[in-house]
Chains A and B, each alone.
Chain A
Amino acid sequence: MTQEMGGPTATTPPARPKVVVRVGDRVFSGSARGAGIFILAMLAAVSGFLLLEGFPAIVADPEDISLLSGQSFWLWVGPLVFGTFWASALGLLVAFPLAIGIALFISHYAPRRIATTLGYLVDLLAAVPSVVYGLWGAVILAPAMQPLYVWLEDNLGFIPFFAGPASGTGRTILTAALVLAVMVLPIITAVSREVFLQTPVLYEEAALALGATRWEMIRTVVLPVGRGGIISAAMLGLGRALGETLAVAMVLSATGVISLNLISSVNPSTIAANVALSFPEAYGLNVNVLIASGLILFAITLVVNSVARWIVNRRSEFSGAN
C-alpha cells in the first residue's frame, strides 16, 4: 500500500473533536473570576473611600475643625502615630521572647503526647474577643500593676522611663502594652511553632550526635534555620498590635502627648483608640479628621503586613498557609 508522502497534497490530519463550551462552565468560571476581582476591587474601595472622606480634613483650614484645637492636621496626628508605634513596640518587646520560648517549649521540650494540647491552650488565647481583654486589663491588671509602678518610681525613678508620679489607677501605657502583648502572643507562637517543627530532623540529630546539649542544638540549628520565619512572625504580631483598638481604648487613660514615661497617668494615645473614643460624638469635619487618621493607620499596617508576607513567601518551605 503506497501513500504519497511530502508534496503539496499531504494527507489531511483527522478532524479534531470540537471543544464543547457549556453554558454552565461559562457562568461558573465567570462568577468565580468575578468574585476574585471583587476582592481586589474591595481593597481598592477601602483605600478609595477612606481617601475620599479623609481628604477634606487634610486640606481644610485647621481653624474650622474643633477636634484639632488650632493645630494643623499633621501636628495633631503626630503624637497619635508615635503612641501607636510606642505601645506596639513595648507589647512586642514583652511578647516576642515569651512567644519564642513557648514555641520552643511546645516543639522541643514538652512531652510528645501533650504537645498538641498545649498548642490548643495557647491558641485559646487567640479566640478571646478583644473587648474581654480590655475589660480584664482595665479592671484586673491595672490595679494589680499599680503597686509595682509605685515601687518602680520609688526605687528606679532616676531612669526617665520610670520617672514622674506613678499613676493612681495603674492605667498607663505599660499596662496597655502588656494587654497588647497577651493578645499578640498567640500569633507569634503559632507561626514560630510551625517554623520550629519544620527544622530538618537530620540537622538536629547531627548536632546531638556530635555531643551538643539540647540548648546548644537549638541555638546552632533550630534558631538559625528558622530565623526568617521568626522575623515574619514578629512582624505579623506587630501588624496585629498596631491595629488593636479596644484593649488600648479601655485600659489607657490618654492625654494625647508624646511621652516616654511608662508609669504616669500622662500617656500618648493610639490612632485606633482615639478613633474609637472620639467617633461616637464626632460631627462634621471632625469625622473627616478621624477617617483621615484611619487612612494613615491603614497605610502603616499595609506596609508592615506586606513586608511580613513577602518574607514568608520568599521561603519556599511554607507559603503562608499552614
Chain B
Amino acid sequence: MGQNSNAFARGKLGSSVPSLMLVGGLALSWTLFAVSAPNDSDYEINLLVVAVVGIIFFTLGLFGLAVRVEGRRRAVDRLATILVTLAFFIALTPLISLIITVVSKGAVRFDVDFFTLSMRNVVGEGGGAAHAIIGTLIMTLAASIISVPIGLLTSIYIVEYGTGKRLTKWITFFVDVMTGIPSIVAGLFAYALFEILLGPGTRVGISGSAALAVLMIPIVVRSSEEMLRLVPNELREAAYALGVPKWLTILKVVLPTSIAGITTGIMLAIARVMGETAPLLVAAGFSNDFNFNIFEDRMQSLPNFVYYSYIAQGSIPEAYLNRAWAGALTLILIVMVLNLGARLIARTFAPKLGR
C-alpha cells in the first residue's frame, strides 16, 4: 500500500521523514567536523557546536524538501513547528544545566558541619552556614508577622467592604505597581527609615525584615484577594440571612473556606522572599557570627552568605566556592519544598467548586 493510493496523503511528506532528516542532519554535521578537524591529538570536537549545526542542517533540509513536495504554505507551517519546539528546548537548557550544576557542586559541602557551624574565626576551609540559615528563618518569620495581617486585612477590605469605592481602585492599582518594586529599592527604603530612627550606618535584622515585608505585602494581597473572590456568594448570604454580623461572617465563614488558597499564597510569598539578597545586603548587613536578636546588630542570611562566599573569596578560593554552592543547593531545596508544598495544599484542600 503506497502513499499514492491514499488520496488524502498525496503531496505530503511521510510521517517518518522529519525524524530521518534530523538524524541525517546531525550525522552530516558530525562528519563535517570530524573530517575537517586538524591533526592535533588534543583537538576535541565540541559536541554542542555539532548539535547546533546539525539542527540548522535539519531545519534547512526539511524546509527545502517540504517546499518541493508539499508546497510553500505547508513548508512554512513545518518551519514554525520546528522553531517553536526549539524555543521550548532552548528554555529548558538553562534549567537543566542549573539543576545539574547546583546538585553536583553543592553536594561537596552538604554535610553536618555546614548546618551546625558558623563562619566565626574561619579563614579558608571549614565553617558552615548555620548562622545564615537561622538568620534567614528569623528575618523571614518577622517579615511574615508584619506582612500577613496587613496583607490579609487589605484583601478583605478590597473584596468585602470596598466594592465600587474609589479607594479600592487606588489600592488595587498601587498594589499591582508595588509587585514590581526592585528589591534593592525596598532595601534602601528600609535602610533610610532606620537611619532616621536609629542613626546612620544602622544595619540591623529588623531593618531587613521591614524590607522583606515591603516585598511580601503586595504578593499576599493579590493572592488572598483572588482566593476570597472564589468563595461563593451564597455562603455569605446564607450567613447574613441567619443574622450573623458581617465581621463574624468573614471570620467564620469566608476565611475558613478560602484558608487553603490563602495559605498557598503566603507560602509562595515566603518562598519568593527567602531568596532575596539585595535588600538584606543593604539593610541587614553582613556577619560571620550567630545572632538571635533581631533588634540588635547585623544578621546574616542564606542568600547573602552565598553572595559573599562568591564575591569575597579568601585564601583558599575552592573552599569559599564550595560553601557558596552548598548554600545555593540548600536555598533551592527550601524554595522548591515550599513551592511544591504550597501547590499540594492548594490541590488537596481547595473548596470543590460545584461543576
Chain A interface residues (CB < 8 Å from chain B): 22, 24-25, 27-29, 31-40, 42-43, 45-46, 49-50, 52-53, 97-98, 100-102, 104-106, 109-110, 118, 121-122, 124-125, 127-136, 138-140, 182, 185, 189, 213-216, 218, 236, 239-240, 242-246, 250, 272, 275-276, 279-280, 283, 287, 290-291, 294-295, 297-298, 301-302, 304-306, 309, 313, 320-322
Contacts and interface: CB of A to CB of B under 8 A. Distances in A.
Contacts, number: 265
B102 A130 contact: no
Sorted nearest first, the 3 A-B pairs with minimum C-beta distance are A243-B182, A129-B275, A101-B87
Interface residues of B, number: 98
20 contacts: A24-B247, A33-B167, A35-B153, A35-B154, A35-B157, A52-B196, A53-B192, A101-B86, A102-B91, A118-B88, A121-B92, A125-B95, A127-B339, A132-B102, A132-B275, A140-B101, A185-B91, A216-B77, A272-B182, A297-B182
Contacts of B174: 39-40, 43
A109 to B, nearest CB: 6
Given A40-B171, A130-B277, A46 B189 contact: yes
B35 interface: no
A42 B168 CA distance: 16
B194 to A, nearest CB: 10
Contact of A245 (B248, B274, B277): B277
Contact of A129 (B80, B101, B281, B332): B332
A32 B157 contact: yes
A39 to B, nearest CB: 6
A240 B98 CA distance: 20
B189 A135 contact: no
Contact of A49 (B84, B101, B149, B193): B193
B74 A213 contact: yes
A139 B73 CA distance: 45
Contacts of B221: 39
B236 interface: no
A315 B328 CA distance: 40
B107 interface: no
Contacts of A136: 94, 97-98, 101-102
A234 B180 CA distance: 13
Contacts of A109: 81, 84-85
B185 interface: yes
- Label chain B's interface by main secondary structure: helix
Interface in B53-90: 73-74, 76-77, 79-81, 83-88, 90
Interface of B: 73-74, 76-77, 79-81, 83-88, 90-92, 94-95, 97-98, 101-102, 149-151, 153-154, 156-158, 160-162, 167-168, 170-171, 173-186, 188-189, 191-193, 195-196, 200-201, 214, 217-218, 221-222, 225-226, 245-248, 250-251, 271-272, 274-278, 281-282, 285-286, 303, 306-307, 310-311, 321, 324-325, 328, 331-332, 335-336, 339
A283 B201 contact: yes
Contact of A279 (B154, B171, B282, B306): B282
Nearest to A49: B192
Contact of A50 (B80, B185, B274): B185
B310 A135 contact: yes
A169 to B, nearest CB: 14
Contacts of B335: 127-129
A242 B182 contact: yes
A282 B353 CA distance: 55
A46 B175 contact: no
B186 A46 contact: yes
A298 B324 contact: no
Given A45-B193, A246-B307, A182 B84 contact: no
**Looking at B74, B84, B153, B331, which has the most chain A CB atoms within 10 Å of its CB?**
B84
Given A39-B217, A125-B91, A216-B77, A321 B222 contact: yes
A214 B84 CA distance: 12
Contact of B176 (A97, A105, A125, A309): A309
Contact of B196 (A36, A43, A49): A49
A35 B150 contact: yes
A283 B200 CA distance: 9
B280 to A, nearest CB: 10
Given A29-B246, A32-B154, A243-B180, A213 B331 contact: no
Contact of B85 (A105, A127, A306, A309): A105
Contacts of B87: 97-98, 100-102, 105
A245 B281 CA distance: 11
B181 A290 contact: no
Contacts of B160: 32
Nearest to A274: B184
Given A124-B95, A130-B278, 15 more contacts: A35-B154, A39-B175, A39-B178, A121-B92, A129-B303, A129-B332, A132-B98, A213-B74, A218-B80, A272-B184, A290-B188, A291-B188, A295-B185, A297-B184, A298-B185
A306 B95 contact: no
Contact of B278 (A33, A98, A272): A272
Considering residues B90, B171, B271, which has the most beta carbons from chain A within 10 angstroms of its beta carbon? B171
A129 B286 CA distance: 19
B123 to A, nearest CB: 19
B184 A127 contact: no
Given A35-B150, A129-B274, A182 B77 contact: no
Given A109-B81, A139-B321, A239-B180, A134 B245 contact: no
